[in-house]
Amino acid sequence: MSYSEEGKKYEADCELLDSLRNHALNQTTSDSFGLENLSIYFNQLTFLGSRFPLNLNFHIGWFPIFRPKQKPEIISNLNYEKCCVLYRIAGMYSELGCSQNSVSTEGTRKACQYFQNAAGCLSYIQSDILPDLRAKAPQDFELIDPLVSLMMAQAHECIWQKAVMEHMKHGTVARLAVKVSDLYDAFLSNIHKKIIPDYWSRYVEAKSNFFQAFAQYQKANEAISNGRYGEEIARLRLAKTSNTIALLHMKVLHPSFADQVTALDQSIDRDLIRAEKDNDLVYMETVPEPSQLAPILRSDMVKPSIPSFVTHPNYWLVLADRPNDDLYIKRPLFDKLVPLAVHQAISVFADKKDYIIKEDIVGKNLELNADKQKCLDEIKLPYALDVIDALPTNLVNHAEEVQHEGGIQSLHDMLFKIQTMSNKTLSLIEEGFNALEEENEQDATLSRQYGKLWNRPPSRTLTHNLLTLGTQYNDTVQAAQKADRIVQAKVNNWGKAIAMLSRPVTEIKAHLPSLPYDDEYYTTIHDLLENLRSRLGLLETSCDERNQLEAEAKALAQNDDISEALLLKANELTKGSPVIKLEPEQFAAEFNQYLQAYKQIQDKILGYVDIQNDLLQSITDLHGQLSLLTANKITLIKREKAISNLESAFTKFKEIRTNLVEGIKFYSHYTDTISQFRDDCQEFAIARKLEATELARDANPSRLLLLKK
């Protein structure tokens, strides 16, 4: 997408964004502003998404979570950066949750909120960002659902921890514990074994079984409180089975959690020995099968919580200034740039506007002009009128062009120039031949005088090539002169007509046959001519007015600017929030308001349809009447024939002039070539003459004087 703004205006914002990214992505939970810096960068990305299209023309790369040594995953989409940053924020929330003091009520409360925020960030990625990624999501994003379950399990674990610390009822604690177990199970059932490290799976499996065991243990305590001794034993046995599985993973467990698993196992063993002994000796209740036990109800106490900075990215703009922090920018970067939604709406408006102009205004005007021209061409107007009492416009233009180019006299002048150049070329060829002939005769005379003493090759053997070339030149000039005679014949044949075109238009008109005044239909014919020309004038006037409307629409479109109105509407709809998505259809009212001016011009154009149709019908009817009156007028037939001959004469004038121009070009070039031939012949003769002088001196010095003579 192209923005009609100077890119240099935003170079500083580009550099700030890059610095923000580098700074934010190096944050850790040890930095008190770490989470805030990440959230600010995420908010800047959100604002960026309201200014630019998602598919940016640069590559965004992130390393896989559990495979940092692999090549980074690269996608050219702004939402990919947002997904990864929010993924990282979720990870930081998770770290903060794990770092809280789990033995204090306040620490447990904070941890619970952090885990819910982590789950909220991951859920937001899944529901609001990934659908607009417009590319196949990397494998890490397949972990979102199981990671949400993991975060919710840990949040629920905090609620369970608080319930234990507050010594809530056994049934309540059991319901909380079994929900924690369910959530850990959900993580295990959805994970991709090849992505998640093995110790993660083992740790979560231990947690799931521990909380299942704890839930059964609490239900066992509830059962004995209510005198259900058989149920107590059944649930203790289930608790023992689950906790035994947790004990298998002791090597990967955190020491504090390992202690809980061990303590629970000891409690189960102690209570199970006591319960079985009491039941055998005293109560003797039947121990139910696990399938006969009532399922433990679940208490769902937490849910994913999306942090406020995600849904309300403006919040950080009002935060207190942070000292010595140049990167804390209290404004959205690229805030002066037109929002993407407005830019898209401007583009949609431009398309609507262009369609009305091209199709409904320009297109309709072209259609009317084509209809008009088709009708006039069919009845040969205005030519059919001009041949009766005037000169057709084309003929007037042709006459003016002939006169501008010198008329018939220019053709005669060019013919004379060609003839002169032609004669010169022949004389040059003749001069060359004469030089060779004179030298040949002298060579023959000296050869007879000196006999055997004259030991050089005869001229005829040396001048063969020159003589052949000269003959070719002569043939070419003869052929050119033949073509010149053809052109001369054209001038002779069309000279009178061309001469007429060379005269002023008034003289041409006066020369043509015209309808006599005493013709019985003279007045009627001229009245019809005047009426037709009047309607043709009205037709041209309406055409000019339509063209003016078309120009008005184009000028309006060139200066039309809807951006301010769309910006106001966008701010009204979003209240300044970049999270609220806008569609071009939401600006329909503004589109209609601004398009009204074009629709008014369109209506005016349509108003000319009936006007033109009435005029064309009237013109056609009047032309039919005129044709009936002039059909067999001998004078008008002769006049039209004469005009046709003058049109043909113009064509011949252009043809002849082209021939003459080409002839002059030919002779100009050929004269140089033949001049060179003449010079070569003369130089050969002079060289042979000097050579003959030397030979004669060597053969008989006493005859040198005779040779010079």
Q: How far apart are CA 72 and CA 89, in angstroms?
A: 19
pLDDT at 330 (0 to 100): 67
Q: How far apart are CA 578 and CA 582, in angstroms?
A: 9
Burial track 270-281 (b if 16+ CB lie within 10 A, e otherwise): ebbeebbebbee
The end-to-end CA distance of the chain, in Å, is: 96
Q: How far apart are CA 501 and CA 645, in angstroms?
A: 11
Residue 230 CA: distances (Å) to CA of 239, 693, 707: 14, 154, 160
Q: How far apart are CA 143 and CA 123, in angstroms?
A: 11
pLDDT at 277 (0 to 100): 94
Place of tokens 């794990």: 98
Return the ∠ at Cα 57 (arms to 56 and 60), rounded to 5°: 70
User: Which ranges of 71-197 would DSSP assign to H, the alpha helix?
Assistant: 78-99, 105-124, 144-165, 170-190
The DSSP secondary structure of 407-447, one letter per residue, reads: HHHHHHHHHHHHHHHHHHHHHHHHHHHHHHHHHHHHHHHHH
pLDDT at 158 (0 to 100): 96
More confident residue, 321 or 699: 699
Taking residues 324-351, report their average pLDDT: 74
Q: How far apart are CA 91 and CA 151, in angstroms?
A: 10
Q: How far apart are CA 258 and CA 252, in angstroms?
A: 9
Q: How far apart are CA 582 and CA 584, in angstroms?
A: 7
Chain centroid, CA 597 distance in Å: 29
Q: How far apart are CA 170 and CA 163, in angstroms?
A: 10
Give me 130's structure tokens.
């990934």
pLDDT at 704 (0 to 100): 43
Give the dihedral of Cα atoms 429, 430, 436, 440; nearest 10 deg.
Answer: 150
Chain centroid, CA 245 distance in Å: 62
Chain centroid, CA 131 distance in Å: 24
Nearest-CA neighbor of 231 among 170, 167, 180? 170
pLDDT at 323 (0 to 100): 54
Q: Quick one: pLDDT band at residue 327, thresholds 50, 70, 90?
A: low
> Given a cut of 70, is residue 667 above it in pLDDT?
yes
Q: How far apart are CA 575 and CA 596, in angstroms?
A: 28
213-269 tens-digit pLDDT? 999 999 999 999 999 999 999 999 999 999 999 999 999 999 999 999 999 999 999
478-509 tens-digit pLDDT? 999 999 999 999 999 999 999 999 999 999 99
pLDDT at 22 (0 to 100): 84
| Alpha-carbon torsion (220, 226, 230, 231), positive or negative | negative
Angle formed by the axes of helices 340-355 and 588-630, nearest 10°:
20
3-state secondary structure of 60: strand
- DSSP at 205: H
Return the ∠ at Cα 75 (arms to 72 and 78), rounded to 5°: 120
Q: Which of 111-120, 268-277, 343-352, 669-678 has the lowest mean pLDDT?
A: 343-352
Q: Which residues contact 574 (CB under 8 A, 6 or more apart)?
A: 580, 582
Return the ∠ at Cα 353 (arms to 349 and 357), rounded to 5°: 170
3-state secondary structure of 74: strand
Number of H helices, E strands in the chain: 23, 2
Round the average pLDDT of the chain to a whole number and report it. Answer: 88
**Which contacts qualify for 502-510: CB closer than 8 Å, 24 or more apart?**
502/399, 502/402, 502/403, 502/407, 502/408, 502/409, 503/399, 504/403, 505/391, 505/396, 505/399, 505/400, 508/391, 508/395, 508/399, 508/646, 509/390, 509/391
3-state secondary structure of 631: coil
Nearest-CA neighbor of 663 among 493, 497, 476? 476
Task: Specify whether the CB–CB gap between 230 and 284 falls below 8 A.
Answer: no
Strands 60-62 vs 73-75: parallel, antiparallel or unpaired: antiparallel
Q: How far apart are CA 150 and CA 183, in angstroms?
A: 7
Q: How far apart are CA 518 and CA 137, in angstroms?
A: 96
Q: How far apart are CA 325 and CA 437, in angstroms?
A: 106
Residue 644 CA: distances (Å) to CA of 97, 501, 508, 516, 631: 101, 12, 13, 21, 17
pLDDT at 295 (0 to 100): 94
> Given a cut of 70, is residue 317 above it in pLDDT?
no
pLDDT at 78 (0 to 100): 85
* 685, amino acid identity: A
Q: How far apart are CA 165 and CA 105, in angstroms?
A: 8
* 528, amino acid identity: L
Task: Specify whether the CB–CB gap between 275 and 224 falls below 8 A.
Answer: yes
188-212 tens-digit pLDDT? 998 866 678 888 999 999 999 999 9
Task: Specify whether the CB–CB gap between 491 and 416 falls below 8 A.
Answer: no
170-194 tens-digit pLDDT? 999 999 999 999 999 999 998 866 6
> Given a cut of 70, is residue 321 above it in pLDDT?
no
Nearest-CA neighbor of 432 among 471, 458, 480, 398? 471
| Alpha-carbon torsion (703, 704, 706, 707), positive or negative | positive
Burial track 622-641 (b if 16+ CB lie within 10 A, e otherwise): bbeebeebbeebeebeebbe
Answer whether the bond into residue 197 is a cis peptide, omega within 30°. no
The DSSP secondary structure of 259-302, one letter per residue, reads: HHHHHHHHHHHHHHHHHHHHIIIII-PPPPPGGGSPPPPP----
3-57 tens-digit pLDDT? 556 667 778 878 888 888 887 778 777 666 778 888 888 888 888 877 777 666 6
> Given a cut of 80, is residue 399 above it in pLDDT?
yes
Instruction: Give the max Cα distance, the chain.
Output: 175
pLDDT at 233 (0 to 100): 96
Nearest-CA neighbor of 477 among 682, 679, 677, 684? 677
Q: How far apart are CA 87 and CA 71, in angstroms?
A: 19
Q: Quick one: pLDDT band at residue 318, thresholds 50, 70, 90?
A: low
